[in-house]
A = this chain, B = another copy of it.
Amino acid sequence: MQHKSLGEEPCPIARGLEHVGEWWSILILRDALDGRRRFDEFQRNLPIAPNMLTRRLSALVDAGLLERRRYNEHPARYEYVPTEAGIDFQPVIAAMFSWGRKHYGPNPLRSLFVYRATGAEAEPVVIDAVTRLPITALDFGFARNPDWDEVG
């Protein structure tokens, strides 16, 4: 993102976007979370130019989402494995999948859940793992509160 000042925005969404906002980042993350590790695995699965793949992988490493790990000495070979921050990105991917599936999927009228559940259309929700209560973006007051550290 060129508007670097957004990285200093108080909103966690804006801050997070700073690291995954580029087009390919999320798709690479998707593949990494799907078990892909190596350069050519990514490239086989994505219509991306090799230099772009290099750049995005480096950026994701710098952002702390992927770890570059040497798996062979001679010749030097690396694999890219999700860090904790990368793994934590899974719920975002899952939510995006569900949303994209419903509204822009090959068959927009049916969601993936149809095949896995009751046959009724289902809405994904994000729930708090502690309270087990559903939370919504609106609950956050995320775009309103200037101080994200204030305790209610």
Contacts and interface: CB of A to CB of B under 8 A. Distances in A.
B117 A128 contact: yes
Given A13-B26, A100-B16, A112 B127 contact: no
A9 to B, nearest CB: 8
Contact of A103 (B85, B115, B135): B85
Interface footprint category on A? 35 or more
Given A96-B13, A96-B17, A126-B126, A137 B30 contact: yes
Given A13-B93, A17-B96, A90-B138, 17 more contacts: A10-B106, A12-B96, A13-B26, A15-B100, A15-B105, A16-B96, A16-B104, A33-B137, A34-B141, A93-B142, A94-B135, A106-B148, A110-B149, A116-B131, A117-B130, A122-B131, A126-B126
Q: What 4 pairs between A and B have smallest CB-CB spacing?
A: A16-B100, A12-B100, A117-B130, A12-B101
